[in-house]
Structures are given as structure tokens and as C-alpha cells.
Amino acid sequence: MLFALVPLALVTVANAQGFVWNVTVAQSGFVFDPPNTEGVATGDIMQFIFSGAPGNHTVSQASFDAPCVQMAGGFDSGYVFVPQASDTPPIWNLTVTNASAPIYFYCKQTAGPVGPHCLAGMVGAINAPDNGTGAFSSFMSAAMALTALPSQTAGALTGVGAMATASPSPLASAAASGSPSSATGTGSGTAAAPSSTTAGATKKTGFQTGVAMLGLLLGAVVVLA
């Protein structure tokens, strides 16, 4: 009976754990990489790695119709300051709670050599289509067509279709004020309009954490047997 129940338990554990998708923040210029991640399922984790040093950026939820505006009730990492000498980039884990609709986000930073980062094309998406209504290319084009950054407000850890349980960490000791001196970022220029490759589906770069539990349960069966 014990052996009959174990396979079901293993499947349940595996399904309960999501995949981890890596998205770097400003590692190569003022961009999220990949800019659009497709194939994300409910329960999957978007792991934002603030690897651009020095830098000061946010991951803030927006709607498709307002690409550079903090969505009401949307998630927001807050300003994440990364000093020049940082060896350990801050990481922010965002769990997708509803993968049935696209999720859009942007950087709300205003300082730096390119001006407002969102207007320079620093936007991203989860499960945005390649073409048609809600296409990522249209979202980015709308952001870059703006001539001024709209007034910004603060979001929260919990958003629409995704949520975090903690702020990005580890954070530098200096306050992330968003001043020009701490928000220069890396790279130069603005983001190019996405090609079908950049805006298309990306492969899963993480792993399913349920696999680890699988081994533990299997070991327990051997001991009990």
C-alpha cells in the first residue's frame, strides 16, 4: 500500500513546485533580458537578478495600455541600488499566481544617461504574445513613443497575476534614492525594437524544485521498506 501511494505523492509534490525563470536587470544596458518570457505557468517563479553594476532600477507592474505607469494594485520591487563593487547581485523572486493573461512591467527610474529608463525601452513582459492584441513589440513601442515619463507612484509586493513575499535582497547599505549619482546603470543607448526572436518564447532557464523533494520521498520509501 505504501508503494502504491508514493508515486501519487511524488507527482503531487512535483506539480506543486514551479519552474524558476531568470531575468537579468540592466546587465547589458537598460534592458530586461529576456524582455518577454513565454510559456510561464501559474506557480512558476520569475527570478529578477539585478546584475547591472552600478545601477538603480525597479521592476514595476504596468498595464498594456499604460506602459510607463505603475498599475493600481500592481507589484513593485522598489528602487534597487547596486554599487560598482557589488559581487552579489540583489535577487527578487516573483511568483506568478495567474498565468492566463499577459503581465507587463517596466523600470520607473528617471535618472541616468538615457533619461527615464522606460522611455528608453526598459520594459518587459510575461506571456505576452508575439503578434496581435497585447503584443510585446507594441508594448515596447508605446513606451518608447512617450515624450515624458508620467507621474510615478509606489506599488506593493502583491500585484495582479503575480506576487512576491519579500523585497529584493541583499540590498546595498546605501539608500536607493534614485538620484543620478546612484542610477547610472550599465551600458549605453536605448533598447532596440524587439525582433521576432527577442520578443518570442524563451526556454526555461531554471529547474523544478519538486525534483529535490522527489529524491527525499524515494529515500524514505527505501528506509521504510
What's the predicted TM-score (pTM) here? 0.76
Residue 60 predicted with pLDDT over 60: yes
Task: Give the residue, 41 or 204, on which the prediction is more confident.
Answer: 41
Q: Is the dihedral of CA 95, 159, 124, 112 positive or negative?
A: negative
At 172, the pLDDT band (50, 70, 90 cuts) reads confident
Decide if 191 contacts 112 (C-beta within 8 A): no
